[in-house]
A and B are shown apart, each in its own frame.
Chain A
Amino acid sequence: QKEVEQNSGPLSVPEGAIASLNCTYSDRGSQSFFWYRQYSGKSPELIMFIYSNGDKEDGRFTAQLNKASQYVSLLIRDSQPSDSATYLCAVRRISGGSYIPTFGRGTSLIVHP
């Protein structure tokens, strides 16, 4: 079982719709959860992080965390073509003072006009 699993996609949604990206993880000791956006050929860019169960909203983005079910999701409201990218889920536990995230393979999102 992969440590962090994401559907590779592509997930295709029309402009203005809600895009829902999901991620499951295997390590119950995970404490921090991150969503990165990566445009083709560019560096990963952090867009959201969440530590506590429930929802966290930032503009058009909402991260949802359910530790009991070991999943974290990212909702993008009013999707725009500029949101088309690969979204990477990463989870992290604090182990020996190290803050190293474990990444999923990413979900490709396509927002079409």
Chain B
Amino acid sequence: EAGVTQFPSHSVIEKGQTVTLRCDPISGHDNLYWYRRVMGKEIKFLLHFVKESKQDESGMPNNRFLAERTGGTYSTLKVQPAELEDSGVYFCASSNRGGYNEQFFGPGTRLTVL
């Protein structure tokens, strides 16, 4: 069974540019989560999808971040325009039942904003 995949693995952009991160959850997992880890800090929750609906987006830092999950399969996280403080590793995770079961994490996308 394929795990959670994320694309790209690394992205280097300049301040003010737009970047779109993609996450493909494990097939059949209705729950999809986005997290971010800024260097030296803990992993922080951003957003939770149940299928295509946003269950909890309390962790989204501001309106420069837009997450979508059209069709309830893969998800994208767009940052527009990117700022220096957006640099970090963005993790996606998925789980199969109400989030109560184990969340499987993807390898992350390392975003560097110059």
Interface residues of A (CB under 8 A from B): 2, 4, 36, 41-46, 49, 88, 96-106
A43 touches B98 (CB 8 A): no
1/0 per residue, CB under 8 A from A, across B92-105: the answer is: 00010011101111
| Residue of A98, A99, A102, A105 ringed by the most chain B CB atoms within 10 A | A99
The DSSP consensus for interface residues of chain A is loop
Q: Which residues of A contact B102 (CB under 8 A)?
A: 46, 49
- Given the known inter-chain contacts A98-B48, A98-B55, please indicate yes or no for A103 contacting B105, CB distance below 8 A: no
Query: A1 → chain B, closest Cβ, in Å?
Result: 14
Per the CB 8 Å criterion, the residue count for chain B at the interface is 24
The 9 closest A-B pairs by CB, nearest first: A99-B99, A43-B105, A103-B43, A98-B56, A105-B42, A103-B42, A44-B105, A100-B45, A43-B107
The DSSP consensus for interface residues of chain B is loop
Q: Which single residue of chain B is at the shortest CB-CB distance from A4?
A: B42
Q: Which residues of A contact B103 (CB under 8 A)?
A: 46, 101
Assembled-state Cα–Cα distance A88/B43 (Å): 9
| Residue of A2, A96, A98 ringed by the most chain B CB atoms within 10 A | A98
Assembled-state Cα–Cα distance A78/B97 (Å): 34
Query: B85 → chain A, closest Cβ, in Å?
Result: 18
A101 touches B41 (CB 8 A): no
Residue B106 lies at the interface, judged by CB distance under 8 Å to chain A: yes
